[in-house]
Amino acid sequence: MALILPELIHEALTLSLDLVETVLLLFNLAIVIAIVFVERRNPTVALAWVAVLLLFPYAGFVLYLLFGRHIYSERRFHLKGSDDQRVRSRVRRQTRALDERRIEFADPAADRFRPLMRLLLAEDRAVIWTQSRVEYEDRGEAHFIAMLEAIRSARHYIHMEYYIIRNDELGRRFIDVLAERARAGVTVRLVYDAVGCASVGRNFFRPLAEAGGRAVPFFPGFLGLVNFRINFRNHRKILVVDGNVGFLGGYNIGVEYLGEGPLGPWRDAHLRLEGDAVQSLQARFLMDWNYAARDSLGLEDGFFPEPRAAGTVACQIASSGPDTPKLTIKEGFLKMIASATKTIEITTPYFVPDDSVLDGLRIAAGSGVHVRIMIPSKPDHMFVYWATLSYIGPLLDAGVRAYTYDRGFLHAKTCVVDGEVGTVGTANWDVRSFKLNFETNAFIYDRAVCGELRRAFQRDLEYCTELTTERYAAQGRLIRIKESISRLLTPVL
């Protein structure tokens, strides 16, 4: 009997493992069928996932849970029915006015970008605003001072949503100021990303809650512990105060964004907005808040004061995310590229585009447009860094010029075309921002603001090294292998 028992245990374990393998194989086959016949993804992405799931069943299943699932079978972020009808009606009226050239711009150069405006209207209902003031800021200390001043000035409400808020001196300072305004009777609502803020824990937001404010996580993990949604993160960084002042851009909240982290000096870009365009930032926040907080705030709840003419800048606030198959921000980038006649200047920490963006930049360079791309010289994510280099290489042969920023870490997400149209926001030039994360960008039709973007690019060139075809070709074999592996996996990660 003593000899038989181990054999029985061994057979039971073998049968259990066989059963697990069979169930896992069936699950993977079901996923493959869904990818091919239900989700109908891009063929390159579909083939990559099929290969991973069938060749590496255990690892492939885990990777699919973390990175592979789509969520846009239902539109999760929307306005109430009555509000939605009002927005649709406004978009229809503005589209007609745009087509009939009844919308006038203070800067005549904006007129030639009407097709881009119409595209963003159609794809994301991105209302065209013409009476805004837009201030560009790329100095972390000045940016955070301006944000804190705006928060302290709040009299009615403060709306914030951020991908990362660190539990450090700067992050605690923001929570303290928000709590102070909440104690003064100001309504404070904060959306934070559950993965981006995973390290701080909910106790970090307790002072705000005790003061009467509310902080809610975006896509929290299972029971608050395990989060299988590595994709679908809320990468937005938005602050709206009293419906009159708004902030949007690349800075998260933490001392590393002041240059005090392991990557050293930090180069980023953010906008401060006043005037009518703040209404679009407000609407974006309310949609995200309603989903995350299970609330039902709407356009008639006192969040939209009568727009005042704070300036003459024309702009649109456009968003995209995995809740919709429309790739609004990427398509906006493509339309900007196609509109270029002289220059395209891009800054991005991650450059992992799809074929359409690569073709657009290659065609622009071949047409005589001076295309320049600035990327970091040091990585914060090794995988993305090597993938970025693999995509930059072929563009060098097409006449695109590329530069690595050597003065710390480049995190700015900007593009300016011909010095006449520009975009600043949260979206990187990579497939993750195009398809997998929730992003928001401002598209600006004003030569004064775009001139600031160009001057910032020119200043940064002083701290760059050009990545020439000779320098790229001189890279060692090991680097080429890293680039190839990283690029191969970009469709699924």
Which residue in the list 411, 435, 446, 460 is annotated as catalytic? 411
Which residue in the list 323, 354, 418, 430 is annotated as catalytic? 418
**To which residue do tokens 């906008």 refer?**
271
Contacts of 69 (CB under 8 A, 6+ apart): 229, 231
State yes or no: is 138 an active-site residue.
no
State yes or no: is 413 an active-site residue.
yes
CA–CA separation, 39 and 409 (whole Å) = 37
- CA-nearest of 283, 316, 344 to 98 is 316
Which residue in the list 237, 330, 335, 482 is annotated as catalytic? 237
Which residue in the list 413, 430, 435, 460 is annotated as catalytic? 413
State yes or no: is 235 an active-site residue.
yes
CA–CA separation, 107 and 320 (whole Å) = 27
State yes or no: is 242 an active-site residue.
yes
Which residue in the list 138, 193, 242, 430 is annotated as catalytic? 242
Q: Which residues are catalytically annotated? A: 235, 237, 242, 411, 413, 418
